[in-house]
Homo-oligomer: A and B are copies of this chain.
Amino acid sequence: MLSKEQISEQFRALQLHICQELERIDTQAKFTEDSWQREEGGGGHTRTLAAGKILEKAGVAFSAVHGPVTEAMKKQLGHEGERFFATGVSIVLHPVHPRHPIMHMNVRYFELEDHSYWFGGGIDLTPHYVDLTKAKLFHNSLKTVSEKYSTDFYPKFKEWADRYFYLPHRGESRGVGGIFFDQLDEKSGLSKAQIFNYCLDLGKLFPIVYGQQIEDVKLSKPTQAEHDWQALRRGRYVEFNLLHDRGTKFGIYSGGRTESILMSMPPRANWVYNQEPIDGSEEQKTLSFLRAFHEFC
């Protein structure tokens, strides 16, 4: 039976693999690592990169923590138990160029001392400018990997992502969605090892998919309009993470390591009162797209 130590070791290896691949994609910047410990038990390694050629700011975090189950956890998880163990990898990429997308991933494992466990995860893509071909390519990759495990996964988890990565106060999706799942265990019909392999496969897919997203994108020096729009969409990203993202809120309110949690923040974000893009502009087309749900494959 797969132990929590094996899972966290392989998540740590996944983090290092992803960083290596992202460095290859960036061609210029390197990740640096901060290791930290948690008073109640466990710790993590937070790897960040700044001022790259492709990536303006990137964070790839690994943690493996344990300790007593707090009241906040009981409330959020709806599970009982005295002590927990949790490990996972989280990634957010904020690219330099407005024509490259923001991309996020998280895979995580949670175990209670009675040995009940579950996996959770998600990948979602947040282009500043929606490119339908690229969005389809992204969804097809997620679908292909998911179907190796279950034909139920992609449609179910895609819909879950549509609900999750949504800003109700804006009436907008954060981006073109992806997949999201939680509390996945043997009730899914898959073994623990199979679900873990699904998480690892998604992790390994992440840098490949990011490479596809930026491949053949014709870049010219960003215009002021592109810069401004990128800054506005980054503002929406901040709003999502601080107002709605469960992981961020849970981490912050439960006294997690702030800098590791908020490594997801963009390097820069702007807010302009009541800004609406010009009719017929590319910005306006992206906004219209984000105001509706879509099927991609």
Q: How many protomers of this protein does the assembly include? A: 2
- Is A274 part of the contact surface with B, judged by Cβ < 8 Å? yes
Indicate with 1 or 0, residue by residue over A184-217, a CB within 8 angstroms of chain B CB atoms. Answer: 0000000000000000000000000000000000
Distance, CA A105 to CA B265, complexed state (A) = 27
- Is A243 part of the contact surface with B, judged by Cβ < 8 Å? yes
Residues of B within 8 A of A269 (CB): 238, 268-271
Shortest A179–chain B CB gap in Å is: 26
Nearest chain-B residue to A235 (Cβ)? B265
Distance, CA A103 to CA B114, complexed state (A) = 52
- Is A226 part of the contact surface with B, judged by Cβ < 8 Å? no
Contact partner, A238, options B57, B242, B258, Cβ 8 Å: B242
Q: Are B268 and A231 in contact (CB under 8 A)?
A: yes
Indicate with 1 or 0, residue by residue over A168-181, a CB within 8 angstroms of chain B CB atoms. Answer: 11100000000000
- A50, A59, A239, most chain B CB atoms within 10 A: A239
- The count of residues in chain A whose C-beta lies closer than 8 Å to any C-beta of chain B is 32
Nearest chain-B residue to A48 (Cβ)? B273
Residues of B within 8 A of A263 (CB): 273
Contact partner, A268, options B34, B169, B270, Cβ 8 Å: B270
Interface residues of A in 232-250 (CB under 8 A from B): 235, 238-239, 242-243, 249
Q: A231-B268, A265-B235 are in contact. Are A274 and B34 (CB under 8 A)?
A: yes
Q: Are A258 and B170 in contact (CB under 8 A)?
A: yes
- A34, A48, A170, A271, most chain B CB atoms within 10 A: A271
The 3 A-B residue pairs with the shortest CB-CB distance, nearest first, are: A265-B271, A242-B242, A48-B273
Which residues of A does B touch, CB under 8 Å? 34, 46, 48, 50, 57, 59, 168-170, 231, 235, 238-239, 242-243, 249, 252, 255, 258-259, 262-263, 265-274
15 chain-A/chain-B pairs, Cβ below 8 angstroms:
A34-B274, A48-B273, A48-B274, A57-B271, A59-B273, A238-B238, A238-B269, A239-B262, A243-B249, A243-B252, A262-B271, A265-B271, A266-B271, A268-B271, A269-B271
